[in-house]
C-alpha cells in the first residue's frame, strides 16, 4: 500500500520515531529529522516512492522506501526497509524484498538490476537477500559508522533481471585479477 502524502505524514513520523533502527545510519529518528526528510522529498516524488507493510488489521508492521528511481534507465534503484521489532523474524523482510523486486521489475521494463546494502552484522537482512536471489557484489571494509562510534563493514547485494526471471543467482567473478 503506497504512502499517500500529505495524509500519511503524521503516520510516517510516528512510525519512524517509535523505535530504534539499529542497522540504519540514522538509528534513532526524532520528529524534527523526519520532518526535514519529508521537506527534502525523500519519501515521494519522481525519485522516491514509499510503501507501508501492513498486517491484516491495517497496522503498520514495516515500511519500504524506494529511491534513486531516476536511475532506472541508466543505473539502478536502492531501497530502505524497516520492520518493527516485534514483527522481525516472521518472514516480513523476505516478503518485502520479494514484493519490491517484483514491483520494480514489473513496473520498469528497462530496469536491469536492483541493489541493496546492509551492515556486515545484520545477519537477518543478509539471509533475506540470499533467499531472494540477490548476489553479494561488494564488501566495503570499515565503511559504516554506527552511533556508538564503532565502524562496520558494508555489504552490497544486487539482483539482475535475468536472475529474477530464472530464480537463479549469477555468480560474481571474484577471481578476475592476475
C-alpha 33: how far from chain center? 19
C-beta separation of 160 from 170 below 8 A:
yes
What residue has cell string 524534527? 32
pLDDT tens column, 108-128: 999 999 999 999 999 999 999
Provide mean pLDDT across the span 46-72. 93
**What CATH code is assigned to 9-166?**
3.40.630.30
| Residues 7-40: b if buried by 16+ CB within 10 A, e if exposed | ebeeebbebbeeeebebbeeeebeeeebeebbee
The β-bridge partners of 144 are 152
Instruction: Give the C-alpha separation, 42 to 3, whole Å.
Output: 12
pLDDT at residue 144 greater than cutoff 80: yes
The β-bridge partners of 135 are 158
146 band by pLDDT with thresholds 50, 70 and 90: confident
Q: State the average pLDDT for the chain.
A: 93
Instruction: From residue 3, give the alpha-carbon distance in Å to each of 51, 53, 65, 129, 163.
Output: 5, 10, 10, 24, 29
User: What is this structure's pTM?
Assistant: 0.91
Instruction: Give the C-alpha separation, 136 to 156, whole Å.
Output: 6
pLDDT at residue 4 greater than cutoff 90: no
User: Which range has the worst mean pLDDT, 10-14, 32-36, 116-120, 172-176?
Assistant: 172-176
In the chain, which residue ranges form alpha helices assigned H by DSSP?
9-17, 31-39, 92-107, 123-131, 161-166
Instruction: Give the C-alpha separation, 137 to 63, whole Å.
Output: 25
Q: Where are the beta strands (DSSP E) in the chain?
A: 48-54, 60-67, 78-83, 113-119, 135-145, 151-160
Amino acid at each position: 500500500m503506497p504512502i499517500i502524502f500529505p495524509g500519511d505524514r503524521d503516520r510516517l513520523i510516528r512510525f519512524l520515531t517509535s523505535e530504534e533502527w539499529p542497522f540504519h545510519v540514522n538509528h534513532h529518528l526524532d520528529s524534527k529529522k523526519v520532518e526535514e526528510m519529508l521537506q527534502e522529498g525523500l519519501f515521494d516524488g519522481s525519485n522516491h516512492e514509499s510503501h507501508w507493510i501492513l498486517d491484516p488489521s491495517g497496522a503498520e508492521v514495516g515500511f519500504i522506501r524506494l529511491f534513486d528511481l531516476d536511475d532506472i534507465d541508466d543505473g539502478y534503484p536502492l531501497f530502505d526497509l524497516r520492520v518493527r521489532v516485534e514483527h522481525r523474524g516472521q518472514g516480513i523482510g523476505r516478503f518485502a524484498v520479494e514484493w519490491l523486486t517484483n514491483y520494480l521489475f514489473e513496473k520498469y521494463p528497462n530496469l536491469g538490476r536492483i541493489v541493496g546494502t546492509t551492515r556486515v552484522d545484520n545477519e537477518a537482512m543478509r539471509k533475506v537477500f540470499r533467499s531472494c536471489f540477490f548476489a553479494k557484489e561488494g564488501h566495503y571494509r570499515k565503511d559504516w559508522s554506527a552511533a556508538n562510534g564503532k565502524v562496520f563493514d558494508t555489504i552490497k547485494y544486487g539482483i539482475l533481471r535475468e536472475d529474477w526471471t530464472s530464480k537463479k543467482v549469477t555468480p560474481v567473478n571474484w577471481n578476475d585479477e592476475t
